[in-house]
Amino acid sequence: MAFNDLFLRAARREATESTPVWMMRQAGRYMPEYRAIREKHGFLEMCRTPELAVEVTLQPVDLIGVDAAILFSDILVSFPGMGLDLEFAKGEGPVIHNPIRSVADVEKLRVPDPYEATGYVMDAIKILRGELEHKVPLIGFAGAPFTLASYAIEGQGTRDYEHCKALMWGEPVAWDMLMNKFADTVIAYLSAQIDAGAQCVQVFDSWVGYVAPRDYERSVLPYTKRVIDEVTAHGNANVEGGVPVIHFANGATSMIDLVQQAGGDIVGVDWRLDMAKAVELIDPRFGIQGNIDPVALFAPDDALEEMVVGILEAFGTRPGHIFNLGHGIHKTSDPEKARTLIRLVHEHSARIRSGA
Amino acid sequence: MAFNDLFLRAARREATESTPVWMMRQAGRYMPEYRAIREKHGFLEMCRTPELAVEVTLQPVDLIGVDAAILFSDILVSFPGMGLDLEFAKGEGPVIHNPIRSVADVEKLRVPDPYEATGYVMDAIKILRGELEHKVPLIGFAGAPFTLASYAIEGQGTRDYEHCKALMWGEPVAWDMLMNKFADTVIAYLSAQIDAGAQCVQVFDSWVGYVAPRDYERSVLPYTKRVIDEVTAHGNANVEGGVPVIHFANGATSMIDLVQQAGGDIVGVDWRLDMAKAVELIDPRFGIQGNIDPVALFAPDDALEEMVVGILEAFGTRPGHIFNLGHGIHKTSDPEKARTLIRLVHEHSARIRSGA
């Protein structure tokens, strides 16, 4: 089997004969093969056991046919090494038992050595590169400083961000220290992933869509930009051709002008922005990742096909499109429909890009 | 005490000497006076008992100092009259025990007479107009067809919309029938509110931010537009000077070009869009309502003041600004901070609008 480099070429904004496609959360509960493993192991246990992380990372490559693997892990795995007491409570998502609520808490936070804190991630990446040698590229990832800070401060997933924003507005010096500690942690962590073999990295700013543009520009963007700049520099210095960086700021399409100022190679776009408008608003020096509604996998095939074609045609034939869902795949999605999506993207993009 | 018509003049896009302000969910749990009543009565019981609805509607007018009252009620009160078995389960939000899942379910749905189904709302409005005679104007409201349909189909609040969108894409004829039934229900309901004395009405499309622009344009916008057009016509035909309509499509700022095609007088904007950009993107024939981050009420006064001034200056001195939060006030907000917000909006807008 020949290595499928379609994803890597698109991520580097080189011409491709068709459009690569992967799905956020593609290694997940919608697959019976994943659930079979998850039933026997805790979520963090799976993240921390390279053999298990490797196995579920490979599942969508082998069974669904995506053009890239993304490491199975979680954006919060660095937390224990920083001194944050993380637990995945059953059915409740992540809980941090000692959330950051004061300047003293910020001062106590550590920037961990990525190998000491999360060596199992680098071990999994090394195994995966061997397993994927004749298959597809491997994407590494981390959370962006704001999303990590919001979890650390709120102590759990939220849609409110009262503590987080109160610190941002009320204690700007502590906020700067906090965001720099998260930025330093992410830079070291993604650099280690690159050294271990990640061929592309994605920075997930999952919750930044709850921040107003003025606050994004002042209190979030500078730290994300530093992460992307330094990780890009690390890739350029250590990997021939560099390591592309994808920046996905979820829910932030109405400030996409600011989001792209963070840099990187590919701007991830959720499904709230029409692809035609994304092409208009995003500087052509960037590629674009996205952006079909994840719920499209619950549509009849003909409606799904129409949505796929609409997005592909809106992007057009220039290089740099990575097809993806606008957010993670839902856990009740049908794997067969996911396979249909992959097929539709490949067939129609080949047709469109050949000018047929 | 003289009647404060600041809000009504701004809603009609007439010149005002300062900017009116009210807050979504201003009659709510952040006020101890509200909690005292809520402890003794169920939520739907409060909606259905005019004396209780009147009392909590008046609280923020008398105790916080907002420039408009909004009827205390819920967007789902019409559901039982439509044949939908609605319950507010303790701490869980609304539940519909017989959600719409088939074409047959859609066919069974009734368009109720608003007086038979929700006469208590019109009774409350009539009492309120008397109580507010020397105070402020009264806003009525309803949910937009999509938001109502999504609750009716999903059977509860959700962030997934799998059943809802599956019906939208898979059964377009049933979807059209469903959306028309909700549109007809809302038109009759808001027309009755106007006849009872509502001086302005707001259409809440609370969940439309989860819909992609192409789906909004095809499957949502035509029905919202029909509601707004017909309610506007009813106001023009029955009330001297007409009844302004505010359209608030929450989370939909990246398709604000489509949202404003629904018409009305005032476009509500959440806090994800910078006000300077809102002014640029929204046709000047509309006024704008918004759009401070609701969490700004957790900021120190000086930070809150800076945000208020930023929004007021970005809007400028033309007519048609109604200051509001970008979404409902959080239940843990401090009423004193809400009073500070009102004061800051009044003081700074008077300064800015006087050219001082």
Domain B6-353 fold is TIM Barrel (3.20.20)
Pick from B166, B209, B271: which is nearest to A272 by CB? B209
Secondary structure E strands in B15-173: 69-70, 86-89, 93-96, 138-143
For position A159, what pLDDT does the model report? 81
pLDDT single digits (tens) B34-45: 999 999 999 999
For position B91, what pLDDT does the model report? 72
Please identify which of the residues A30, A34, A151, A189 carries the catalytic annotation: A151
pLDDT single digits (tens) B256-274: 999 999 999 999 999 999 9
* Range in A175-189, A325-339, B81-95 the model is least confident about: B81-95
Which of B168, B207, B254 is most worth mutating to test chain A (most A CB atoms within 10 A of its CB)?
B254
Pick from B254, B298, B299: which is nearest to A254 by CB? B254
A93 — pLDDT class (breaks 50, 70, 90):
confident
Closest to B213 measured CA to CA, from A281, A19, A175? A281
Mean pLDDT over the full length of chain B: 97
Examine the residue annotation and report whether B74 is marked as an active-site residue of this protein. yes
Which amino acid is located at A30 in the chain? Answer: Y
* Nearest-angstrom CA–CA distance, B305 and B232: 36
Is there a cis peptide before residue A4, judged by omega within 30 degrees of 0? no
Task: Write phi, then psi, for A144 (nearest 5 degrees).
Answer: -80, 160
DSSP code at position A176: H
Interface residues from chain B to A (CB-CB < 8 Å):
160-162, 165-166, 169-170, 209, 212-215, 251-256, 271-274, 277, 293, 295-296, 298-300, 303, 307, 310, 326, 330, 332
For position A92, what pLDDT does the model report? 73
Interface residues from chain A to B (CB-CB < 8 Å):
160-162, 165-166, 169-170, 209, 212-215, 251-256, 271-274, 277, 293, 295-296, 298-300, 303, 307, 310, 326, 330, 332
pLDDT single digits (tens) A98-140: 999 999 999 999 999 999 999 999 999 999 999 999 999 999 9
Pick from B170, B254, B299: which is nearest to A272 by CB? B254
Contact (CB<8Å) A160/B213: no
A288 in Cβ contact with A269 (< 8 Å): yes
pLDDT at A157 over 90: no
Residue of chain B with shortest Cα separation from A301: B170
Would you tell me how many other CB atoms lie within 10 Å of the CB of residue B356? 6
pLDDT at B1 over 80: no
- For residues B247-273, one letter each, b for 16 or more C-beta atoms within 10 angstroms of the residue's C-beta and e for the rest, the string is bbbbbbbbbbebbbebbbbbbbbbbbb
Contact (CB<8Å) B213/A162: no
The domains of chain B are located at: 6-353
pLDDT single digits (tens) A220-231: 999 999 999 999
* Average pLDDT over every residue of A273-299: 98
Considering all CA atoms of chain B, what is the largest pairwise distance in Å, rounded to the nearest integer?
63
The secondary structure of A185-239, three-state, reads HHHHHHHHHHHHCCCEEEEEECCHHHCCHHHHHHHCHHHHHHHHHHHHHHHHHHC
Examine the residue annotation and report whether B13 is marked as an active-site residue of this protein. no
Contact (CB<8Å) A162/B310: no
pLDDT single digits (tens) B226-249: 999 999 999 999 999 999 999 999
Alpha carbon A173 to its chain's center: 29
- Integer Rg of chain A from CA: 19
* Average pLDDT over every residue of A288-316: 98
Residue of chain B with shortest Cα separation from A300: B170
pLDDT at B157 over 90: no
Count CA within 13 A, CB hemisphere, residue B322.
36
pLDDT at A85 over 90: yes
| Six-digit token string for A288 | 């674009």
Judged on CB neighbours under 10 Å (0-12, 13-18, 19+), B99 is middle
pLDDT single digits (tens) B202-232: 999 999 999 999 999 999 999 999 999 999 9
* Average pLDDT over every residue of A244-252: 98
* Average pLDDT over every residue of B153-169: 93
pLDDT single digits (tens) A29-70: 999 999 999 999 999 999 999 999 999 999 999 999 999 999
* Nearest-angstrom CA–CA distance, B93 and B95: 7
Contact (CB<8Å) A165/B213: no
pLDDT at A142 over 80: yes
Domain over A6-295+317-332 is classified CATH 3.40.640.10: no
| Six-digit token string for A160 | 């409110």
B103 — pLDDT class (breaks 50, 70, 90):
very high
* Average pLDDT over every residue of A213-239: 98
pLDDT single digits (tens) B305-333: 999 999 999 999 999 999 999 999 999 99
Provide the number of CB pairs (under 8 Å) joining chain A to chain B.
Answer: 98
Would you tell me how many other CB atoms lie within 10 Å of the CB of residue B284? 10
Pick from B170, B212, B298: which is nearest to A293 by CB? B212
